[in-house]
Structure 1
Amino acid sequence: MMSLLVHPDTTGTQIETFGFELLAIKIVKLQAGQSMEEDTAGRELAIVPLGGTCSVTSTAGDFASVGGRASVFSGLPHTLYLPIATKFTLTAQGDCDLAFCYSKAEEPHAAALVGPADVRVEIRGGGNATRQINHMIQPGFPAHRILVCEVYTPSGNWSSYPPHKHDVHNLPGEVDLEEFYYYRIDKPEGYAIQKVYSADRRIDETLTVRDGEMVLVPEGYHPVVAAHGYNAYYLNVLAGSARSMAASDDPEYAWVRDTWREQDPRLPLVR
C-alpha cells in the first residue's frame, strides 16, 4: 500500500502524482525576481499562492498580480486557474511560496483568477468540530475535474468530522474523489493528527502531520484534529468521477451532528 504521509518536493522541479490517477502537486518556492516556465499539457492547473505575489503571462491570458498574503494565516487566497495546453511564465514579485495543483483533464476552459472577494467563506460544524472553509474552485466553477478549497482548524478542534468518505460514485449522495491534504501549522513545532481508515479496516492509519507535510486520501474516512495550542491549515485538492463534493458520513459517528448547539467563536480565523 502507498505511504499516506509525504513531504512534497519544494525545489519547484518535480510534479508528484503519488500514485494517483488524476491528481498531482508540487510546492514551489521562488525568490524575488525568479521566473519559471511550464506547459500544462494534458493537465488543468490551479496555482495557489500560500505566501507572496507573482505575475503570470500565458497563452491563455496574462495576470499581473496573483497573491498578496504573507502566509496562509494572514489573508484570504488568490487562485489562478490555467486550462490544458497552456504555456506560461510565472515571475515572483517578492519571495513566493506556491502550491501548483494539477488534475488530468480533456476539456478546455478559460483561464480565470479567483480573488479574495470571490472566495466563499463557510463556517462549518459546531462545538469543537467547528472549522473555516475557503471555497476557491467549487463544483460550479468552469473546469473539467479539479476542485480546490482551504480549511482552517483552530487549536484543539476537529475537522472533516464526522468522518466522511467519497470513494464510491453514487450520485447524488457520494462521488469518487482522490484528495490531497497539504498542511501548514501556525508554529513550527505544531502538528495535527489525521486518521485515514476504510470501513473494513483494510486501511487504518493514524498519522502525525507537521508543517509542510501532506496526507494522501485515495479512499476511506479521514478526520483531522489540531493539536492544542496550534492552528492547522490544509489545502484540499480533489478530482474524480464528478464535479461534486458529495460525501457520506461514517454511520457510527454521524449522530454527533445532532449534538452541535453553537459554533466556535474563534472562527473565522482568517478574514
Structure 2
Amino acid sequence: MSTTSEYHLPAGTAAEGPYDLLVTPESAGWGHSGLRVLTLAPGEAHALSTGESEFLVLPLSGGCTVTVAGRAFELDGRTDVFTSATDFAYLPRASEAVVSSAHGGRFALPSARTGRSGLPARYGRKEDVPVELRGAGACSRQVNNYCLPGTFDADHLLVCEVLTPGGNWSSYPPHKHDEARTDEHGNAVESELEEIYYFEVAGDADAFGYQRVYGTEDRPIDVLAEVRSGDTVLIPHGWHGPSVAAPGYDLYYLNVMAGPGQDRAWLICDDPAHGWVRSTWEQQDVDDRLPFGGNRTR
C-alpha cells in the first residue's frame, strides 16, 4: 500500500535552486506533468529554458514581465490567489524566456512534456479566463479555467484553479482519470492524466485543509494529507477527493494535468459509491460567499 509521504510534499521539501517547489516528471516518477513555484525579489529576473515541455507563467501574487522570442508580455498579476483570476503567459516547447518582476512576487510555472512545438508564445487575458461556480451547498466552489480544452490552446497541458470557502468540500464526488476508456459505442469516457495539486490556505501559518486520494483494487494508493500553504500532493492514479477546506480557512489549489493521449481531454469518472451526490445539488443554492474577490468581505 502506498503511503502519504510518497505523494504529499510539505512546503519547502521539494525546493531546489531558485524554486520554492520543483516537480518534474522525473522527480514525480511519471512521464508528463510538472510544476515549479518561483519567488522573485523586486527587480529580480529568472531565465527559463522550457526544453521538452510547454509552460504557463501564472502569477500567484504580484506581477511580472515575460520576455520570449523577441516579445514582452506584461502580466499585471494579482494581490493573492483569493483576490481574482490573473493574466498569464504561454511558453511553447524549446523556448528561452526571462521572467522579471519590478516589484517582486510569486509565480507558478505549470508544465507538460510534449513532442510538438507548433503553438506560439502568447498572452492570456484575465478578462478571458472562464470563472465557473461548481457544485452547490457545502460542495460549492469556484473554478478558474485557464488552460483547458475550449478555453486556451495547448499541446498537452491542462491548468485550472479551485477556490473553496471555509467549511466546504471540493474535488467531490471523488473521481479519477487514470486510464483511457471508451464506452460500448467507442466514445471516450475517461482520459489518462497525471495531476498535481498545489495548495494555499487563507489565514496564518496554522491554517490548514485536507486532501484525500485512494486507489482501485488493482492500483492501490492511500493518501490523507493535512495540507497548508505551499504544500503539494501528487496524484499518479486513483480516486481523488474530497479536498476539504476547514471551517474558517478558505482553500485554494492549482491543478496541473497532462498525459500521454494525443487528444487533449479532461474526462473523469466518478467513484460509483459517491457519484449520486451530484443529484442533490439541484435542490441547493450555490454558497453566497462565491465568487471570491471584488467586494467580498473576508
TM-score range, shorter chain: over 0.9
> Does residue 291 of structure 2 align to residue 268 of structure 1?
yes
Q: Tell me which of 257, 265, 276 is aligned to 1:244.
A: 265
Contact 1:11/1:29, CA 8 A, preserved across alignment:
no
Point out where structure 1 has 5 or more consecutive residues left out of the alignment: none
Q: After superposing the two structures, state which structure 1 stretch, 255-264 or 131-140, moved more.
A: 255-264
Relative to the length of structure 1, the TM-score reads: 0.95
Note the C-alpha offset of 1:11: 5.1
Deviations 1:4-40 (A, max 9, x none): 1013427525742222211121111011110111211
Structure 2 Cα separation of the partners of residues 159 and 268 of structure 1: 14
Tell me what 1:185 maps to: 201
Note the C-alpha offset of 1:101: 1.1
Structure 1 Cα separation of the partners of residues 64 and 77 of structure 2: 8
Q: Tell me which of 232, 237, 257 is aligned to 1:219.
A: 237
Q: 1:10 to 1:72 in 2, by over 3 A?
A: farther
Structure 2 Cα separation of the partners of residues 202 and 57 of structure 1: 44
What is the number of residues matched between the two proteins? Answer: 270
Tell me what 2:169 maps to: 158
Q: 1:115 to 1:12 in 2, by over 3 A?
A: farther
- Tell me which amino acid in the other structure corresponds to 1:259: T
Q: After superposing the two structures, state which structure 1 stretch, 52-61 or 177-186, moved more.
A: 52-61
Q: Percent identity?
A: 37
Q: After superposing the two structures, state which structure 1 stretch, 133-142 or 116-125, moved more.
A: 133-142
Tell me what 2:215 maps to: 198
Q: After superposing the two structures, state which structure 1 stretch, 235-244 or 130-139, moved more.
A: 235-244
Point out where structure 2 has 5 or more consecutive residues left out of the alignment: 183-187
- Tell me which amino acid in the other structure corresponds to 2:108: A
Note the C-alpha offset of 1:197: 0.4
User: Could you say what secondary structure the match of 2:239 adopts?
Assistant: coil
Could you list the runs of 4 or more consecutive aligned residues of structure 1 that deviate by over 4 angstroms after TM superposition? none
Note the C-alpha offset of 1:67: 3.4
Backbone CA RMSD of aligned residues: 1.6
Tell me what 1:16 maps to: 23
Tell me what 2:185 maps to: none
Structure 2 Cα separation of the partners of residues 92 and 5 of structure 1: 30
Structure 2 Cα separation of the partners of residues 166 and 206 of structure 1: 19
Structure 2 Cα separation of the partners of residues 230 and 39 of structure 1: 37
Q: Tell me which of 72, 76, 79 is aligned to 1:70.
A: 79
Note the C-alpha offset of 1:60: 6.3
Relative to the length of structure 2, the TM-score reads: 0.86
> Does residue 93 of structure 2 align to residue 84 of structure 1?
yes
